[in-house]
Each structure stands twice: as C-alpha cells, then as structure tokens.
Amino acid sequence: MTKGPLQGSIEHALVIADVKKSEVRDFVVELEPWLASRVRDVAVRELAEFTVAQQELLEHGEEGLRPDLAIVLGGDGAMLAAVRAFRRTPVPTLGINFGRVGFLAATPVSHWRETLAGILAGEGLVEERMRLAFSIESAKGDVTRKGIAFNDAVVNRAAHQRMMTVSLAVGDTWVTDYRADGLIIATPSGSTAYSLSAGGPILLPSMAAMVVTPISPQGLASRPIVLEPETRLSVEIAYASGITTLVVDGQSYYPMEVGGRVVVERHPVSYPLLAMPELDPYRRLRERLGWAHTIGRTTS
C-alpha cells in the first residue's frame, strides 16, 4: 500500500450513486452537503447514467470526467461498473458499501464520516489493484476485441450445452487441457469473486499474480493454479458443442468460437482503490467470510 492523496489535494469529488437502492438515495442527501463544505466542487451522478455517458465519451476518444476522488455508493457491482468507466484514466476511488459482501466497496456505511475525513486529511491508503489486458483472437488469428478486466475474464459454455475443452498455454508452453464448464482467469481482486466460489485460492489485494481456476472440471486432478504477474497466457477453445462466451467482470460478454483464443496478460497500469489503515484486508476477510466468530473470538 502507498499513502493516499495529500491533504488539500482533493478539490473535485464525484459521487457515483446506485440510486436503485433506497438507502443510497437517502444517504446522498446527507453526504453531498458534508462534502461540499470540505472540497471545492462536488458532483453527484447516478450510476447507470454515468457509466453509459462515460462509455460514449471513451468510444469517441474523449477522456470524460476525471475527478480527484470518486466515491461509489453501492456494492461490488457498482464498484466494478465505476472502475470500468475509469479504465482508461484511473482515479482514486473509495467504495462505501450498501451491498451484501463488499470486498471492493470496503468501507461500511457506518464508518463513512471517519473514513472520508481521514482521506481528505491525507491519512488514507491506496491499494494499487492489478488489472488484466485481454485480446480475443479468431480461429484465423485475427484480433477481434481488446479490453481490460479488473476482477476476471471467464471463458464460459452456454447453460444447456455439454462440457467444453479449453487448452491453457503460458507463453509458448502448453500447460494442460481442461474439460470443464469454463475457465476463470482472475486478478488478486477477483480471487474473492467467482474464482473463490469455484474453489480458487484467496490472494491478498496487494499481491501481483494471476489465478487460473477451472469451473466444475471433469478430472479431479484439474486444480487452480497461481501464475506470476508477468505471465502471458492464452486459452484456446479446443471443443464446444454450442455457444462459448468470454465474460469480463461479470458485466461484458463477447462471443468466441472453436479454434479461437483469448490472450491475457498484466495491464501496465494498476487501479487505485482507497482504504483506511484500520480496514485492513484481513479484517475484511474475517467480516465478509464470517471468520470472526468461527473460533469464538470477537474483533473490533
């Protein structure tokens, strides 16, 4: 972790609110004047409208909004949408959790005042989150799509088709073929998302690594593996009985074909998420996964 924005350096704050949640709508009424009394400029945007408008600007080669601080009100889905909206020019982002889990939206709403006051005073920490760059290649070798993943890139079969076979290579070295329902390539941030539910390991968010996790593999020897961050890996569709899709961060979907492949490597620019020292990743794991009470201990 590194120190967050210096005291007095935050002049423009952007609040991105998932207003589908009634508690978020009520909270904005309290948050906006509190921020306005402490920073020069405060803008409030509804999550869906903001992400659509930002995407249109990016598609036209424009930068879009670039505040000194982005505050996301919602859950991890809202955080992923906001992070993807700033994918070209990342900004320091704080998530205030109104969801069920909150690995990315790490700040509980009950702690918002002390967390934001600390960040504005220069006491916050930046968690530099590793991202993935991916490209999809057709069976002919043409690149059909490029993009960035924050949590994961998942090669998936359709719901009612049989298992698929995917071939994993690291650099020019073939590793193995997986016969499974799909394959997850995750960042440390994504290790607590779909990869975790599929049996993958938990990586601390400050780490740099890739996790490859098969989804319901046929062979018991098919296990998740952790790869070095500078690895360039490729996943080729060797067999599929129907539609195959690359799903990025659970929010973007790209069709793939037999013989096609997705190439994944570390993106050169990390994404800065903000946190306070007392909300360390171990505490988050204890609280989000229910570890705090598993051996009769209590935590503050």
Q: For residue 298, what are the CA distances in angstroms to 279, 280, 288, 291?
A: 16, 16, 14, 10
Q: Cα(242)–Cα(115) distance, rounded to whole angstroms? A: 49
Angle at 80 between CA 74 and CA 86, to 5 degrees: 110
Strand ranges (DSSP E) for 9-89? Answer: 12-17, 41-46, 69-74
* Residue corresponding to tokens 């609040």: 15
Contact 182, 215 (CB under 8 A): yes
Rounded-to-integer distance, Cα 122 and Cα 109, Å? 20
The closest alpha carbon to 252, from 262, 260, 239, 242, belongs to 262
Please confirm, yes or no, whether 68 is among the known catalytic residues: no
- HEC sequence for 126-183: EEEECCEEEEEECCCCCEEEEEEECCEEEEEECCCCCCEEEEEEECCEEEEEEEECEE
Alpha carbon distances (Å) from 162 to 45, 156, 177: 43, 11, 16
- Write down the catalytic residue from 18, 26, 68, 76: 76
74: left (phi over 0), alpha (psi -120 to 50) or beta: left
* Two tokens, residue 57: 């600007």
Q: Which residues are catalytic?
A: 76
